Structure 1
Amino acid sequence: AKLCEHAFVREAVVVARQSRAGDKHLIAYVVCAPEASEDDGGGLAGALRAHLSSRLPDYMVPAAFVPIAALPLTPNGKLDRNALPAPADQAYALAAYEAPQGAVETALAQIWAELLGVERIGRHDHFFELGGHSLLAVQVSSRLSQAVGVDLPLSTLFATPVLIDLASSILELLSRSGPQQLPAIAAVSRLEPLVLSFAQQRLWFLAQLNEGSTNYHIPLALRLRGALDRSAWQRSLDRLLARHEALRSVFVATQGKPHVEVLPPEAGLPIVDHDLRQRSDAEAALLDLCHEEGRTPFDLARGPLIRGHLVRMSDEEHVFLLTQHHIVSDGWSMGVLLRELSQLYRAFAAGQDDPLPALAIQYPDYAAWQRQWLSGERLQKQAQYWRSALSGTTRLVLPTDRARPAQQSFAAATVPIIIDADLTRELKRLSLQHGTTLFMTVQAAWAAVLSRLSGQDDLVIGVPSANRGRREIEELIGFFVNTLALRLDLSGEPSVSELLERTRRTTLAAQEHQDLPFEQVVEIVQPPRALDHTPLLQVMLAWENNAAGSL
């Protein structure tokens, strides 16, 4: 209705549409008056955005404005949403488009375009209005380090989210300290014993403590419909195993000290075939296979730490069960695996060669780099932050219907809670108003609930972090994820605005010190230890929003 008040607009419709980056945005489709026909998309977008911005709250202003000759209709006269065209890149200009100027603005625009999936970025565009969030902000910071040699604090991006303002902040940083490059992750010799990463060291220790445990299995079930080229499927899996050394890693101990050995590239991924086509209880038998697979432990010293079952349900349907040990993979890695498996299978089924580019480094190279990089002054700085942030924390005590067992059992259940579209829109609106991401807003709400239930105003919430702050490791399969312990202060009955601000400050500070592994944080803080609860934190909020899982 507000669009149609503009002189250029005759008819309009606004829909939510998924962008190439995977996020949904409001898109306006407008039938324009003749006098607007000579205007380019960017100018029209700027004019209509300015018109709506003065009449509507920010969350109701569309991300793109697409001029069309007429609204497409179905045979019965209703709007045909499927016939609405995809927005052209210039339609995404959230302000009147002005090309980036100078090397820093140009580099920043290129980085935003790659991460946000929008090709044309103007110097007045707003990172978060274009779909940015804190995980993408970490990736922006990583790419800026390589492109212009600046270590950009996340708080700076949140404080200056408009491209021209952020570029000015970057130039100020460069003028004070000059370009600074992080040490490159280089390939290490395979003739020497390979070290474990900090995360792998943690899981190896837990595996020794609970021999035969299946708590750290990562299961995956894929239902494959249509004719399956069994040879191409096996070849694709074998190539994945050969491509990623993490998947071929085993963990051998000498005098109680573990090191990594890598199985040969031609080892092949073990697959067990099952044919259930003649079974009347095929689905029940499949479920039994899933349970049996989940109960089967891995041998970390022998490997491989990835295995599969291919279950034939009918001539045109298979189910593929893939299980990995967490010590060689994580949630982000699952996205990498599925993407590469799809690319490889399509190529091999068509008789083509491997289409994937060679990897410059492997996970063992990252593990060696991590231990060298996280040392000295850098280690002391991160350690001091966590010592100060978490000193004096207390255990969260929630009212429950039974006593906590003397030792954690990991028996669990799930309770689904659906946040509907209307509430999601309101949460996003609230986030934009207060300069927080949707994750930060939900975390603040979760903290408020926990505080009300427990009667405590000093809370620690665990958050899994992707921990992929370097561009070189984004395409690797491996165990990178870390846990951040976020301490939230709800003392003094803060208002919603004040609680959101506290949450934002805490989250950004934790992300800027996310390199220190959680188990080292525990050792530094030295909280009271007991077998009935996890040290430092007893609740978590896992926010899965990576394109390939974390903040």
Structure 2
Amino acid sequence: MTTSSLAIPATAQQAARWHTLRTTRDRSVYHITWRLGCAGHVDFDALAAAWQTVTDRHECLRSRFEVRDGELTMITEPTVDAAALLIEPDVREAGEAADEFARVAAELHLREFRLDEGPMGRLALVRIGAQEEIVLIIHHIAVDGWGMNVLFDELSAAYASLARGEEPSFPHDAVSFHAYAEKLRAQEAKGTWRRTIDHWRTALDGVTLTTVAHDRELGRPTAVGDPGATVDYRFTERADAARAALAQELGATPFSVMLAAWQIVLARGGEQESTIGVRSMNRTTRNELALVGLISNACLVRATVGDGASFREVIGEARDATWNLLGHQGVPYPVVHASLPEETRARLTNVKLTLNYLGPIARDLSLGDIRLTMLEAPNRAARADMVVSYWDGEDGILTVTEYNTEAYDEETVLGMMRDLDEVLVAAAADPDRPVGDLRVRTRSAPAAR
């Protein structure tokens, strides 16, 4: 750990997020909140000390942001006070506890981060009688979902040591985000990104984003920070089995099969050419896998699905597009966007639909030996028209869809998920069947600018 403040230029992704926050309607849109139910009693003193320990380890948690000479700068302090909160609401009726837990989580989630002051995370233990919940909130300008998982694994290990009366220890030093940011700047300066930028300039030439047709006319384009909500959907057993069978038969990843299913739904809903976003983990080295910081990336996938195309053909093209995407995921999307012609940039201001595979993120969590259950997040702001995030759980495919409530009713989102379910089942039953034979509920449309 350094003994003085360290200032470096913010990364392109951090700068883009910061600029978006200047105009967004709800600044909590970039708060990542994990609300965790505890299956045992938490030692608050050990938890608070563990939280300070991981904050001391990771530069992003000790950072703040300010503009210097017109450039957004990330300033990391050698130490910050990461005091955890113990919140014990006065609840007299047992039946009121669930509502009070939800209210407190929402209040903590909405509390604004001062990006010019820091720190970039906060943690609270909420205790009502014998029930306890942990609420962990990190600003997305500093950490991505994968980094949250790394952070929580370390928090759990530190807590276990401290609860035993031992000093926390880790098998390796924390990976430096500053070193990662310097690596990005060096790659850009050397022209290493030129091939990928040229690829995206060609791939996105003349592109228009796709969305699910709105239920209501807003009179304006939807925007980051519009009111939002989330809805859960569990795929049927038939769809789970179908996706696995298609991936094996066609040599595709399960993600590519899911991507193809959405492309088919959008095509049958009216837009045969679709362009949607994909969240890329963007971690290709051992150091990057251990890094707590913002390095996940957004990429765009463009597809044309005619009525005569077979399920097999669409999945094969989605498979190839996924591999191609992975080969060009390393250049931050804001850099790609800035390199595009002005007319193309105008069409791609805000990605409207995004597919996000979360893998092991937020699964099988514990604090020491206390089992934790991920509860519904209190987020009420939308990052896009729809963001479909999914895990492969023990009981099948689990999804959470965040959607813009000014544009959509919940039933529209659930109808789209049922369409995806039915597409998977139909494709597995006959991969050579033309997609034009399928009928869907979803209506698609070009995204308004």
TM-score w.r.t. structure 2 length? 0.74
Please show how residues 387-536 of structure 1 align to structure 2 within 5 Å: 387-396=201-210, 398-408=212-222, 410-454=226-270, 456-491=271-306, 493-526=308-341, 528=343, 535=349
Structure-2 residue corresponding to 1:344: 158
Match of 1:299 among 88, 94, 114: 114
Determine if contact 2:11/2:181 at 8 Å carries over to the other structure: yes
- Residue of structure 1 equivalent to 2:373: none
Alpha-carbon distance, 1:287 to partner: 2.0
Distance in 2, matches of 1:192 and 1:311, equals: 34
- Per-residue deviation, residues 433-456 of structure 1 (Å, max 9, x unmatched): 1110111011101100001112x2
Task: Write out aligned runs for 1:278-317 (5 A).
Answer: 278-280=91-93, 281-314=96-129, 316-317=130-131
Q: How far does residue 542 in structure 1 lie from its aligned partner after superposition?
A: 1.3
Counterpart residue number, 2:394? none
Cα pair 1:188 1:365 within 8 Å, conserved? no
Displacement after TM superposition at 1:544 (Å)? 1.4
Alignment map for 1:190-205 (pairs within 5 Å): 193-205=7-19
Distance 1:477 1:461 in 2: 27
TM-superposition CA deviations, 1:220-240 (whole Å, max 9, x none): 112223332222111111001
| Selected match of 2:34 from 220, 232, 256 | 220
User: Identity over aligned residues, as a percent?
Assistant: 25
2:209·2:276 contact (CA, 8 Å) conserved in 1?
Answer: no
Pairwise mapping of residues 101-112 of structure 1 onto structure 2 (< 5 A)?
Answer: none
Equivalent position of 1:324 in the other structure? 138
Aligned partners of 1:306 and 1:322 also within 8 Å = yes
Q: How does 1:216-255 map to 2 (within 5 A)?
A: 216-255=30-69
Q: Distance in 2 between matches of 1:399 and 1:331?
A: 29
Deviation at 1:250, TM superposition (A): 0.7
The alpha carbon displacement at 1:189 in A equals 11
Q: How many pairs does the alignment contain?
A: 361
* Paired amino acid for 2:355: L
In 1, distance between residues paired with 2:170 and 2:98? 35
Contact 2:88 2:126 in 1 (8 A): yes
Q: Tell which deviates more after alignment, 187-196 or 422-431.
A: 187-196
Contact kept, 8 Å, 1:466 with 1:550, in 2: the verdict is no
Q: 1:294 to 1:188 in 2, by over 3 A?
A: closer
Paired residues for 1:46-195 under 5 Å: 193-195=7-9
Letter in 1 for 2:143: S
Bigger-Rg structure (1/2): 1
Deviation at 1:385, TM superposition (A): 0.3
CA distance 1:474–1:369, shift in 2 (3 Å)? same
Q: Is residue 330–residue 480 contact of structure 1 (8 Å, CA) maintained in 2?
A: yes
Alpha-carbon contact 1:249-1:305 (below 8 Å) kept: yes
Is 1:276 the counterpart of 2:89? The answer is yes
Deviation at 1:481, TM superposition (A): 1.0
Paired residue type of 2:62: R
Structure 2 counterpart of 1:207, from 21, 30, 36: 21
Residues 408-417 or 249-258, more deviating: 408-417
2:423 is aligned to none
Give the number of the structure with larger relative contact order, counting CA–CA contacts within 8 Å between residues 6 or more apart.
2
TM-score in terms of structure 1 length: 0.61
Q: CA deviation at 1:211?
A: 8.6
> Aligned-pair distance for 1:520?
2.0
Is residue 173 of structure 2 the alignment partner of residue 354 of structure 1? no
How far 1:345 moved relative to its partner? 0.8
The runs of 5 or more residues in structure 2 that have no matched partner are: 363-388, 392-449
**Structure 1 position 294, deviation (Å):** 2.2
Q: Which has the higher strand share?
A: 2
Q: 1:415 to 1:235 in 2, by over 3 A?
A: closer
Segment of structure 1 superposing worse, 328-337 or 374-383: 374-383
Instruction: Report deviation, 1:379.
Output: 1.5
Tell me the CA shift for residue 366 of structure 1.
0.6
Give the Cα separation in 1 of the matches to 2:3 and 2:127.
43
Conserved? CA contact 1:465–1:484, under 8 Å: yes
CA displacement 1:346-366 (0-9 Å, x = unmatched): 111112221312326311111
Structure 2 vs 1, CA of residues 289 and 534 (structure 1 numbering), >3 Å: closer, same or farther?
A: farther
Residue 209 of structure 2 contacts residue 351 of structure 2 at CA under 8 Å; is this kept in 1? Answer: yes
The CA distance in 2 between the partners of 1:442 and 1:312, in whole Å, is 40
Q: Which of the numbers 177, 180, 192 marks the counterpart of 1:366?
A: 180
Aligned partners of 2:43 and 2:285: how far apart in 1?
37
Deviation of residue 396 (structure 1)? 2.5
Tell me if structure 2 keeps the 8 A contact 1:460–1:487.
yes
Q: Secondary structure at the match of 1:401?
A: coil
TM-superposed CA distance for 1:374, in Å, is: 3.3
Match of 2:135, as an amino acid?
Answer: L
- Residue 351 of structure 1 aligns to a residue whose secondary structure is coil
**What is the CA-CA distance between 1:525 and the residue it aligns to?**
2.6
CA contact (8 A) 1:486 1:506 kept: yes
Q: 1:212 to 1:255 in 2, by over 3 A?
A: farther
Q: Is the 8 A contact 2:97 2:128 kept in 1?
A: yes
Task: Tell me the distance in 2 between the aligned counterparts of 1:416 and 1:530.
Answer: 33
Alignment equivalent of 1:384, drawn from 198, 214, 226:
198
Distance change (3 Å), C-alpha of 1:306 and 1:398: closer
Per-residue CA deviation, residues 171-224 of structure 1 (Å, 9 max, x unaligned), is xxxxxxxxxxxxxxxx99977632212221211222334497221111111222
Partner of 1:156: none
